[in-house]
Amino acid sequence: MPVAVVTDTTGYLPRELLDRYSITAVPLYVVFPDRTVRETEITDYPAFFDELRRADSLPKTSQPSVGDFIAAFEPLLARGDEVVSIHISGGISGTVESGRQAAEQLEREGKGGERVRIVDSATAAGGLGIVALAAARCAQLGGTSDEVVDAANRARAELKMWFAIDTLEFLRRGGRIGAASAWIGSTLRIKPILTVERELSPVERVRTSARMFERMVDYAQQRHDSGADAWVVQHIAAPEQAQKLIDRCYEVFGCDPLFVSEVGPVLSAHTGPGMLGVGSVPKSFFD
């Protein structure tokens, strides 16, 4: 059977790649005091960030509903596909669990839910995007569902991704700071560098934006030296810094990125503006 790959919007894959690899992205939600909207419905990012800065309390976020997943899975199953559904870490979101519940409901209803495989990527943002792309590449080459799941798991094992955050303030206010909470007691006047290993995990902290940037370039060099040259850059409301990082990473890796994208409202609501991300896997996943 052909294999369809589903993910969620927190990978922030560019539309062109979603279309090229026929990936379905199920949206998460941003919950404001007066309304709940799919993050794909928020298109004016500057206005969203203005609202974040002014808000007394940050908006909440929510995983897709079981019904959202059923709406994504059902037509794929009806046309005879198997489905591999790859999502943001279960350590920071209930998205994986919603997907599992949807598959179980479709199985009970005799609609092919047993043909859905749910994969917890144990990462987020560009890391999730890379893992979903590796799986979709395998599916595009005719891989079975077992092979597609294996490609996702192998890509995740090879993945390393860093996120440099302008301030811990938004993570502190949103309560999603994970293991980096130990840094709160010292000062918020640091530039934290984090990764996602199921939950947000601290890597190191630096004092200035310039040092933060250079550490991201150093990390790209480490990834190149280890043979992981399929790279991505992401940012939140920092296009100029992102372009500088892309230029430096191009010098390091000697090739174009897999993708570059801006992280959208769901994750931005937790980290605030000013984030830079860089990560990679070996190119062999995309040969």
Sheet strands side by side (includes 29-31)? 36-38, 29-31, 60-62
The neighbouring-strand residues paired with 86 are: 119
Q: By the 8 A CB rule, do 52 and 78 touch?
A: no
* pLDDT computed for residue 190 by the predictor: 78
* pLDDT computed for residue 178 by the predictor: 60
* pLDDT computed for residue 174 by the predictor: 62
* pLDDT computed for residue 184 by the predictor: 53
Indicate the pTM of the whole model. Answer: 0.94
Tokens of 10: 């927190």
Would you write out the chain's pLDDT as a tens digit for each of its 287 residues? 899 999 999 999 999 999 999 999 999 999 988 899 999 999 999 999 888 888 777 889 999 999 999 999 999 999 999 999 999 999 999 999 999 999 999 999 999 999 999 999 999 999 999 999 999 999 999 999 999 999 999 999 999 999 998 877 777 766 556 655 655 555 556 788 999 988 888 888 888 899 999 999 999 999 999 999 999 999 999 999 999 999 999 999 999 999 999 999 999 998 888 999 999 999 999 98
Helices (H), the chain: 15-20, 45-54, 66-78, 95-108, 126-140, 145-158, 169-174, 209-225, 239-253, 265-271
Q: Which amino acid is at 114?
A: E
Q: In angstroms, rounded to a whole number, what is the distance separating the alpha carbons of residues 66 and 223? A: 38
- For each of the domains in the chain, give its residue range(s) and CATH number, in order of start: 3-27+64-157 (3.40.50.10440), 160-286 (3.30.1180.10)
**β-strands 24-26, 3-8 pairing:** parallel
- How far lies 231's CA from each of 13, 64, 149, 160, 203, in Å? 13, 28, 21, 10, 19
CA dihedral 96, 149, 262, 20 (to 10 degrees): -130
* pLDDT computed for residue 175 by the predictor: 59
* pLDDT computed for residue 186 by the predictor: 52
Task: Determine whether 15 is exposed, middle or buried from the number of CB atoms within 10 Å of its CB (0-12, 13-18, 19+).
Answer: exposed
Q: By the 8 A CB rule, do 238 and 266 touch?
A: no
Q: In angstroms, rounded to a whole number, what is the distance separating the alpha carbons of residues 69 and 163? A: 28
Of 277, 232, 229, residue with least CA distance to 253: 229
Q: By the 8 A CB rule, do 123 and 246 touch?
A: no
* pLDDT computed for residue 280 by the predictor: 98
**β-strands 82-87, 116-120 pairing:** parallel
